[in-house]
Amino acid sequence: MGLALLAGLCLPAAAEIAALEETEIPASTAKQERTLKLINYLIDKSHYRAVDIDDVFSAQVMDEYLGQLDPGRAFFLSADIDQFSRLRFQFDDFILQGSLKPAFAIFSIFRTRVDQRVEYALERLKEPFDFDVEEEYELDREDAPWAKDAAELDELWRKRIKNDVLSLRLAGKETEEIRDTLERRYTHIARRTRQFKSDDVFQTFTNAYVNSIEPHTSYFSPRASENFKINMRLSLEGIGAVLQTDNEYTVVRRVVPGGPADLNGQLKAEDRIVGVAQGDDTFVDVIGWRLDDVVELIRGPKNSTVRLEVLPESSGMHGDTEIIAIVRDEIRLEEQAARKRVLDVDTGNTKAHIGLIQLPSFYVDFDAMHNGDADFRSTTRDVRRLLEEFRDEDIDGLVIDLRGNGGGALTEAIALTGLFIPQGPVVQVENSGGNVQVDRDPDPEIVYDGPLAVMVDGYSASASEIFAGAIQDYGRGIIIGEPTFGKGTVQNLVNLNRFSRNDEDMGQLKVTIAQFFRVNGDSTQYRGVIPDLVWTTSDPDPEFGERGYDNAIPWRNIREARYTPFGVVLGDSEMTLNMVREQHLRRIARDPEFNYYLEVARINRERRDITSVSLNEETRRAERSQREQERLDLENRKRQALGEKPFADTEALEEFDEEDQRLSDAERKPDAFTLEAARILGDLTYFSRLNHSADTSTLVKQEAPETSLSN
């Protein structure tokens, strides 16, 4: 098994690290072995994806485990990996036997390597750096070779430390403050690793195992289970954001609709939290922290203030940080509720009075419903009420905005679809046995039968994809925006304590048990929903969404359900949609705001492709100034094209952004994409009518596009 050989690699910790609280190296327990065998049984009996626990799978588990321990390849040496390779094709046997000793042996070596790296970092931090030298720091080492020896790892860490120092210098920190901040940061890495309990190591390895099957299956230790329950409760007193660890950063994966962060408007998905402060207290640097510990800092009493130091996604890995103050509160159901407004637009062909419904999530007040409250809140009930109000406003069409809607109650996605179609199937669900259940709208009533558009983006997921897919399949409306997230699987949360014979707390298993399919037979999984009209200004990261997960269940299709397409809005012809698309492209070619977004997409693409940064201070300052000037110039070109006064400097721009964030949705001007979606729907109705009554060959205007903003 090679355990004795592995154990021989454990080296004494350095003096600086020895001063930390001494803790025993975690060891596996009989309870954990029983839990692993139980998880094996549940995976085999209920997981949607059948998997062979063999040598190929064994290698995947080992790679995943090493990746979870050392994602940036900053601690292990290639010699360690060579030693571990003796176990590479044995983890399948260990898993089936419930044996955890090899996983714990690898962790003990990892802990030693962390101690050694932190010792080096603390010593090197005492020495000065030469910031006049031209050299590069590699940002992402996920796929880089493992360091061949300690000297190579020292050099990697020298550049890492130098980059950390330079980043803080550029942020205006003084020398002593920089040293104190980084000493705390590096020491915390060692402390965090030493604080790993046996259950923490078990959870890490078990997740390496189940994530090797499929990314949405995960194990929660007893401690993590309690945090998971807290996060699932709408009464959570915090900021309302779904967080995840990515390398050594805490990344915002989703801002929860109706939560304090959503209402504040400054925190965005994919932002990285690098510091947390309570009220006016000093910031705590949280780079390299465990997710549980970061969440614990952010969570707090209602009406208290937490400040976050954030590295915005738009600024790249080493841009300028921003400070965001958020007042903790409950996530309120009423703030998640559907809301409406009316947009009056001129398409160039016709004027249209378009209704807009913004839908942040698919919600239902389960407690009120189960208690028999006749007026319980739900997505479908609220949208029905808004549609009835629109009847009095004589709208020409309706836009439903699902951008950023990460899903919610499946029952609401089905019921909401039923407001727009006659009775019929909405979604198909296939379980692990291959049995397909068709979930239907049983109600023949159509609350709204007029022209319809649905806006989606890369964050529209799960229930949003079911609704958008059904609307598209029935030909009930046009889908506009970006390809959606691609979350088309169903998970079930299993309390493992149900299977305990000794009242042991064994934690919970979230297991994927089924897959969603549209009524046309296509899955929403992986590919998501592809809009009928995709924004040319969008440039989504190809690694974003389900497509970015390792081991994601691939797209497939099954037999379509029996359904009758609605087929009214798009008329009888693809020609109508082509004419609408052509008008849209002509319109946005001369639209300053869309040209602005084209430039933003280009800049984001360039920053996404950056793999290293300069460690020369003058170069970095010049790059920072260039970014600021580029943003200012871009904003001012847009404002001048719109006939608005340009900003004098970046400070004026930042003040404007802060004022804009304080506006309510009703006060804020609709964004360019919303207005264009309304125009598209107006054109769709216009051309659909004309295509049924006249020759349309001369109806599309032929103006040449004006010069784009980028020129």
Instruction: Look at residue 6 and tell me whether its pLDDT is greater than 60.
Output: no
Q: Read off the pLDDT band of 262 (50, 70, 90).
A: confident
Q: Where are the domains of the chain?
A: 3-213, 235-327, 336-583, 592-691
Residue 487 DSSP code: -
- Report the C-alpha gap between 686 and 351 in whole angstroms: 10
Q: What is the pLDDT of residues 70-83, one digit of tens each?
A: 999 999 999 999 99
- 238 exposure class (CB count in 10 Å sphere: 0-12, 13-18, 19+): buried
Question: In the chain, what percentage of residues exceed pLDDT 90?
Answer: 63
Q: Read off the pLDDT band of 264 (50, 70, 90).
A: confident
Q: What is the pLDDT of residues 230-254, one digit of tens each?
A: 444 433 457 888 888 887 789 998 8
Structure tokens given for 442: 């049983």
Q: Read off the pLDDT band of 692 (50, 70, 90).
A: low
Q: What pLDDT, on the 0 to 100 scale, is given for residue 473?
A: 95
Extended beta strands in 558-618, E state: 612-614
Q: What is the pLDDT of residues 99-128, one digit of tens each?
A: 999 999 999 999 999 999 999 999 999 999
Give me the residue label for tokens 């979350």.
Answer: 487
Task: Respond yes or no: is residue 197 known to be catalytic.
Answer: no
Active-site annotation holder among 80, 473, 522, 591? 473
- Report the C-alpha gap between 92 and 76 in whole angstroms: 23
Instruction: Look at residue 607 and tell me whether its pLDDT is greater than 90.
Output: no
537 vs 146 pLDDT, higher one: 146
Q: What pLDDT, on the 0 to 100 scale, is given for residue 22?
A: 52
For 556, list phi and psi in degrees, rounded to 5.
-155, 175
Question: In the chain, what percentage of residues exceed pLDDT 70?
Answer: 89
Task: Respond yes or no: is residue 462 known to be catalytic.
Answer: yes
Structure tokens given for 387: 């549609």
Q: Read off the pLDDT band of 705 (50, 70, 90).
A: very low
Active-site annotation holder among 221, 462, 464, 523? 462
Q: What pLDDT, on the 0 to 100 scale, is given for residue 25?
A: 84
Contact yes or no for 701/368 (Cβ under 8 A): no
**CATH class for the domain made up of 235-327:** mainly beta
Segment 329-350 shows an average pLDDT of 85
Contact yes or no for 497/506 (Cβ under 8 A): yes
Q: What is the pLDDT of residues 407-433, one digit of tens each?
A: 989 999 999 999 999 989 999 999 999
Range scoring the smallest mean pLDDT among 51-55, 65-69, 326-330: 326-330
Residue 145 DSSP code: P
- Report the C-alpha gap between 687 and 572 in whole angstroms: 11
517 vs 669 pLDDT, higher one: 517
Q: What pLDDT, on the 0 to 100 scale, is given for residue 313?
A: 80
Contact yes or no for 433/456 (Cβ under 8 A): no
- Dihedral sign for Cα 296, 276, 668, 466, please: negative
Q: What pLDDT, on the 0 to 100 scale, is given for residue 244?
A: 83
Whether 336-583 and 235-327 are alike in CATH topology: the answer is no
Segment 374-393 shows an average pLDDT of 92
Residues forming beta bridges with residue 323, ordered by sequence position: 309
**pTM, to two decimals:** 0.87
- Report the C-alpha gap between 239 and 115 in whole angstroms: 34
Q: What pLDDT, on the 0 to 100 scale, is given for residue 233?
A: 41
Instruction: Look at residue 618 and tell me whether its pLDDT is greater than 60.
Output: yes
Report the CATH number of the 336-583 domain: 3.90.226.10
What number of other Cβ atoms are within 10 A of residue 278's Cβ?
Answer: 15
Segment 308-330 shows an average pLDDT of 82
Give me the residue label for tokens 């945090």.
Answer: 227
Structure tokens given for 301: 């009493």
301 vs 316 pLDDT, higher one: 301
Instruction: Look at residue 12 and tell me whether its pLDDT is greater than 60.
Output: no
Chain centroid to Cα 183, Å, comes to 31
Contact yes or no for 303/328 (Cβ under 8 A): yes
Instruction: Look at residue 656 and tell me whether its pLDDT is greater than 90.
Output: no
Segment 357-362 shows an average pLDDT of 94
Active-site annotation holder among 164, 487, 614, 638? 487
544: Cβ contacts below 8 Å, ≥ 6 apart = 458
Task: Respond yes or no: is residue 52 known to be catalytic.
Answer: no
Instruction: Look at residue 4 and tell me whether its pLDDT is greater than 60.
Output: no
Q: Read off the pLDDT band of 9 (50, 70, 90).
A: very low
Q: What is the pLDDT of residues 196-230, one digit of tens each?
A: 999 999 999 999 999 999 999 999 988 776 555 54
Average pLDDT, the chain: 87
Segment 285-306 shows an average pLDDT of 86
Instruction: Look at residue 20 and tell me whether its pLDDT is greater than 70.
Output: no
Q: Read off the pLDDT band of 709 (50, 70, 90).
A: very low
Q: What is the pLDDT of residues 539-580, one digit of tens each?
A: 777 778 999 898 999 999 999 999 998 865 454 467 888 899
